[in-house]
Chains A and B, each alone.
Chain A
Amino acid sequence: MPEVLKAPLVVEFPFTRSLGPVQSAFLTGLREGVVLGVRAADGRTLVPPVEYDPVTAEEIRDLVEVAPTGTVTTWAWNHEPRRGQPLDTPFAWVLVRLDGADTALLHALDAPGPDAVRTGMRVRIRWAPERSGAITDIACFEPFDGAAGGRPTGHDGRFDDMVTGIVAPARLDYVYSPGRAQSAYIASLSERRTVGERCPSCRKVYVPSRGACPTCGVATSEPVEVGPRGTVTTYCIVNIKAKNLDIEVPYVYAHIALDGAGLALHGRIGGIPYDEVRMGLRVEPVWSEGGRYPDHYRPTGEPDADYETYKEML
């Protein structure tokens, strides 16, 4: 059995999100150094604020300012900060009930060690030096010796130049492995061969095989070499140039049933004017130097295949 393949896979995306009236006011407030909560139907002040009452589900938007000081309601010591977390030195995760609020906000507390943290301790916001209207405008919390500080200004949540959206970048790292069947397919390609697997029940040859027959729902395992020649079963003409793709348009993209395969693969057709490609055209793979899969397929010069021989694979 060939070695199971593995490769790093990074999934990275900047999520652009719009804000409703309440979140917009809260995050704009953070940019301006003002912390806002929202008044719920039962009179509680919720920080961070939400748009719908957690008890009645009614829309709420009565914004009130709370203090930048507060009390730790629970905490957890994080001695090994992970990528993206607020501090890169050991810190405590904390839920903080700000003075004037009835609920708690999740953030980080900068403290010298776990012995310096306890539930009920007083803390205050340490603002980020540069603020853009995001939860990270609070750099972290820090211990605070005092009962009341940073008296609220009575702000009502109306600002010039409101923040209406955020961009939240996300990145996750994986080590991807395609599993046994697809590893075998990829390994065969490195020898310029195409190997599929036959279903023990319906005898169809799947290429590439994912290890199971989707018709019978059983495992496939018998390797079968197919091609290299094949038949164009259907195709389309591509007229738009893809970014970073060095292929002149128009070109033909086709489904190609390799000889012996039970279903068609797809690939580009070259070596023939695009308007002369047709269903039934016999083709063979063309490999580029060092290519890990066929660069394209070109006509073999054989007579076209009879429709009856490939109609099942359309």
Chain B
Amino acid sequence: MRPLRDIAVVAFGQTDHRRTSDELSEVEMLLPVLHEVLDRTGLQTGDIGFTCSGSSDYLAGRAFSFTMALDGVGAWPPISESHVEMDGAWALYEAWTKLLTGDADTALVYAYGKSSPGSVRDVLTRQLDPYYMAPLWPDSVALAALQARALIDAGETDELALASVAARSRASATANSHAQLRGPVPQGDYLVRPLRTGDCPPIGDGAAAVILAAGDRARELCERPAWIRGIDHRIEAHSLGVRDLTDSPSTRLAAERAGAFERPVDTAELHAPFTSQEVVLRKALRLDDSVRVNPSGGALAANPVMAAGLIRIGEAAARVHRGESDRALAHATSGPCLQQNLVAVLEGDAR
């Protein structure tokens, strides 16, 4: 379905992602990124029609932590604002629907996550079902490892192929000054077998921001807007034992609804924190070797939890802005073993 209004990503900014950022509060980490996207468009905080953010109290260890970050967007006098306790890609989805309604012509979307204060493997267990799974404390690496084993048993990959996904991602990241892991990174020891440290994302802190604009406003703010041709998100059963872990039907359906299969894409930014998840996503999205996958290095190079999905949309859009892509796919995920998936298709005007 064609959107009711043309809406584009007109600016993208992100922090350098690092293992720790003790010296910065969340708002201190976020502010430079907010100013980067505002400066890029010439907008002031007061010009923004709608603001939406993604973050998690469980990372911060504090209730309503996002309210502190609001200091960075000039929230007084009162602004039109919303927050999702999820990756910022879902905040972008909310902002996109807000712009579709015509209530606003511009939107600021930001997301941030500091994994350094806690243990993100343990923190993420708290998003699991509280009756059957959470009391066992299965950490995020363990759940990804179950999926990796299922793929290996199904003959869809092996440990060598997974290592090559990691190597390719981190080689691509050498061109990304914001990435946390770049260049040759040892594949390392098993963390939870069959996944080695090299198959897993770095743990780190970071933030990202995007500005969306509708129609002519987008053309005023950006030389080559990245038009969102379609965006959709789908979910599958939370329980891992109900799902076929070697496939991602929710990604496929979201991609179909976003129009991803109507014409080939030249670039795909996939939110695959674990090497094995890229195998699943490539299959679900029918990506062949003609598509440049994760030129930024992807989540294997930098994985600020709650921002990494928004960064995929931002990276895809930035390639359109720079004229390096004409039609790009961006994907974000949330939940254990690719439970929830969002797909966006971005296009630049014909050149």
Contact = CB atoms under 8 A, between A and B. Distances in A.
Interface of A: 4, 6, 9, 11, 15, 17, 19, 23, 27, 46-48, 50, 54, 73-79, 82-86, 93, 95, 97, 103-108, 114, 119, 134-136, 166, 168, 170, 172-182, 210-219
B126 A215 contact: no
A177 B22 contact: yes
Given A46-B242, A119-B153, A210 B25 contact: yes
Nearest to B241: A104
B118 A172 contact: yes
A214 B70 contact: yes
B288 to A, nearest CB: 27
Given A76-B148, A76-B194, A172 B122 contact: yes
Contact of B239 (A83, A103, A210, A211): A103
A215 B192 contact: no
Contacts of A97: 241
A74 B150 contact: yes
A83 B241 contact: no
Contacts of A176: 61, 117
Interface of B: 22-28, 31, 34-35, 45, 58, 61, 68, 70-77, 116-119, 121-123, 125-126, 130-139, 142-143, 145-150, 153, 190, 192-195, 237, 239-242, 245
Contact of A11 (B61, B68, B148): B61
B31 A85 contact: no
Q: Is the interface of B mostly helix, strand, loop or mixed?
A: helix
B149 A74 contact: yes
Contacts of B133: 106, 135
Contacts of B116: 175
18 contacts: A48-B131, A48-B241, A78-B193, A82-B121, A82-B139, A84-B135, A104-B241, A105-B241, A107-B136, A114-B193, A135-B132, A136-B136, A166-B131, A172-B61, A172-B122, A174-B61, A177-B23, A212-B27
Contact of A76 (B22, B35, B145, B239): B145
A2 to B, nearest CB: 11
Closest 10 CB pairs of A and B: A179-B25, A217-B74, A104-B241, A76-B145, A84-B137, A77-B193, A217-B45, A174-B61, A214-B71, A74-B150
B14 to A, nearest CB: 18
B74 A76 contact: no
A172 B73 CA distance: 30
Contacts of A79: 190, 192-193
A82 B191 CA distance: 12
Given A48-B132, A77-B190, A135-B131, A175 B27 contact: no
Contacts of A85: 136-138
Given A93-B145, A210-B27, A212-B31, A76 B131 contact: no
Given A4-B23, A211-B25, A212-B71, A76 B146 contact: yes
B142 to A, nearest CB: 5
A134 B132 CA distance: 8
Nearest to A176: B117
Nearest to A179: B25
A186 to B, nearest CB: 12
Given A73-B150, A104-B241, A172-B122, A6 B134 contact: no
